[in-house]
Amino acid sequence: MRQQIEDMKTSPKVFQATKCSACKHPLELPSVHFMCSHSYHQHCFESYAAENDSDCPLCLPENKNLKSNPIA
């Protein structure tokens, strides 16, 4: 993960998603992209992300689990 962060400082991330991760329709602008490679129409993301507007809705359950159960 640290290496990926360092790589992002000097190399752009290319998003090639063609479908919204929520509704599965062709992706159109405006859209929201996450480093996990999930992408959403802005209106789809806003309807899923009421209180977690900085997290990917698909990855949120796993991320919450990791945050609540840190590796010692």
The answer to whether 17 and 40 have CB atoms below 8 angstroms apart is no
The predicted-structure confidence for 4-55, as pLDDT tens digits, reads as follows 778 878 888 888 899 999 999 999 999 999 988 999 999 999 988 666 678 8
Q: How far apart are CA 10 and CA 40, in angstroms?
A: 25
The answer to whether 40 and 48 have CB atoms below 8 angstroms apart is yes
Instruction: Name the token pair of 66.
Output: 């990791």
Q: Which domains does the chain have, with CATH numbers?
A: 2-68 (3.30.40.10)
Q: How far apart are CA 19 and CA 23, in angstroms?
A: 8
pLDDT at position 3: 83
pTM to 2 decimal places: 0.74
H or E stretch at 32: strand 31-33
pLDDT at position 8: 78
